[in-house]
Amino acid sequence: MRVYGRTTVHEFLGDFIVYRNLEPLDKRLPSLDDVREEANIPQDVTPRKTQPSYARAIVQLLQAARELDAPGTTLERLIYIGDTRMNDGIAFANVARAGDWTGLAFTASETDEPAPPEITTQGEGKLYLSNRWDAIGHFEQFCREQNFVIDAQTAVILDLDKTTFGARGRNDHVINQARVEAVRRTVGDLIGEAFDPAAFHNAYEELNQTAYHPFTADNQDYLAYVCLILASGLYEPDELTERVHSGEMTCFEQFIDEVDKCDGRIPSSLREIHEHIHALVQEGDPTPFKAFRYNEYHTTVERMGCLSDEASVQELLTKEIVITQEVRETALRWKAEGALLFGLSDKPDEASIPTYKSAARGHRSIHRVETHAVGTNSTGVTNWQNGIKAALTPVSTNPILLKLDRQRKFKSGYLFIPRGRSGI
């Protein structure tokens, strides 16, 4: 494994990205409201990643994106790259079904133990599961074996968090650290001098376990709010966890409604933030703790490109959120072959895009923040120093010099693609 210089996700995805709110960053694409009728999504509803209505909206966006850069081209095939068998597998199957497309998907979560890939059926498509990110090269070979053509009629969806950057099993812990720090920072700022970091840590670690998902809905906004209330002294941690285990406290909505009835006991410094979060929960907003998510944006950006270019691979994987070189390399190759690339993330927009005030101070959306690319090359790439160019292991002796789109902003504008490996 090695470092491949600094780059951004924007290098290969541009602004063809949506976060949790399903509002494209490229404003040439239709908004969620624009596609509601065609996708059969009710007003005031933002579907989540594993719902069929989410897939219908994504199909509309993919078709619009394809029309922008390849007018008249009809999408017929789908590739999906992710990190979880369940959520990404379901999302892949739903999008393929909604688009009536042939589909193949690759998911990885890196482990120390070597294991052969598992190939399973997901809906009408096939899912290639691996515990190695560099196995994406084998997935490409699998695509060829399936006579699956990657060209202008192919849409490639890249999951962002823990796939395109912060690869699961390799670098995802740094994303988790950023989120925990955002909760700690938010709760600490609101509680003030009475904040107990050790007590907060113990409560967060306990309630962040799978056993509490029925209570927290595996929603970090909910968990952050619970930690805030515990830190305020309104509830004792042991008392709350006992009520959850006994079934007396069944869900987050029950908890925040109960807190609301304790209005006279809520510290005055927390009353306004409680009322704001409670109102958003009642409205059905899945991201009600905005202050926490704004902090998460900053704690995430602080961990991108933060180390020097002399840092070792191990240092980068331990302390910095890095771009997954295997995904980057493959995405650039597929883009050169004409495929449409599109990024999806269930990460809240508030944790991914700077506020107007932050943007005015020079902060950028996380896909435009420069960081290091780290990984291995899965196709015999011998040199990609600083993201400038790649020399793929030749299948024939006559390489084709393919000029890259200047929008990729490579210092050199060329990618060497040997004949027989390029699909052209």
Chain Cα centroid distance, residue 235 = 34
pLDDT band at 212 (very low <50, low <70, confident <90, very high): very high
Q: Which pLDDT value is given to residue 205? A: 95
CA distance 228 to 222: 10
Q: Please answer whether residues 368 and 15 qualify as being in contact, where contact means their C-beta atoms are separated by less than 8 angstroms.
A: no
Helix axes 268-282, 252-260, angle to 10 degrees: 140
Phi, psi of 164 (to 5 degrees): -70, -35
Percent of the chain with pLDDT over 90: 83
Stretch 260-277: mean pLDDT: 91
pLDDT at position 314: 97
> Is a pLDDT exceeding 80 seen at residue 29?
yes
Find the mean pLDDT for residues 260-264: 86
Give the model's pLDDT for residue 382: 34
Mean pLDDT (the chain, rounded): 88
Kindly report which listed range (102-111, 366-375, 389-398) carries the lowest average pLDDT score. Answer: 389-398
Low-confidence winner among 129-143, 144-158, 360-374, 387-401 (lowest mean pLDDT): 387-401
The predicted model gives 147-173 an average pLDDT of: 97
What the block records as the tokens of 309 is: 């270019």
Q: What is the pLDDT of residue 178?
A: 97
Q: Is the pLDDT of residue 38 over 60?
A: yes
For 78-99, write each residue's pLDDT tens digit.
999 999 999 999 999 999 999 9
pLDDT of residue 409: 31
Q: Among 6-20, 250-264, 294-308, where is mean pLDDT lowest?
A: 250-264
Report whether pLDDT(378) > 70: no
For the cut 70, the answer to whether the pLDDT of residue 419 exceeds it is no
- Whether pLDDT at 266 is above 70: yes
Please identify which residue in the block is written with the tokens 């015999």. 380
Percent of the chain surpassing pLDDT 70: 89
pLDDT, average across residues 332-347:
97
Lowest mean pLDDT segment, chosen from 262-271, 368-377, 386-395: 386-395
Nearest partner of 109 among 87, 130, 88, judged by Cα: 130
- Other C-beta atoms lying within 10 Å of the C-beta of residue 159: 24
Least confident of 56-70, 326-340, 369-383: 369-383
Please give the average per-residue pLDDT across 335-363, as a whole number. Answer: 96
What would the mean pLDDT of 309-315 be, rounded to a whole number?
97
Backbone phi and psi for residue 420, each to the nearest 5 degrees, phi listed first: 100, -20
Q: Which of 340, 283, 345 is nearest to 54 (CA)?
A: 345
pLDDT beyond 80 at 406: no
266 touches 234 (CB < 8 A): yes
Residue 7's contacts (CB-CB under 8 Å, 6 or more residues apart) are 323, 328, 370, 371, 373, 387
Residue with tokens 């995805």: 13
Distance CA 380, CA 83 (A): 23
Measure the CA–CA gap between 274 and 391, rounded to whole angstroms: 56
pLDDT the model gives residue 412: 28
- When computed from its CA atoms, the radius of gyration of the chain, rounded to whole angstroms, is 23
Predicted confidence band of residue 401 (pLDDT cuts 50, 70, 90): very low
| Cβ count near 131 (within 10 Å) | 18
264 compared with 410, residue with greater pLDDT: 264
Residue bearing the bigger pLDDT, 113 or 71: 71
What pLDDT is recorded for position 407? Answer: 33
- The pLDDT assigned to 112 comes to 87
Mean pLDDT, residues 206-220: 95
**pTM of the predicted structure, to 2 decimals:** 0.86
Residue tagged 């694409």 (tokens): 29
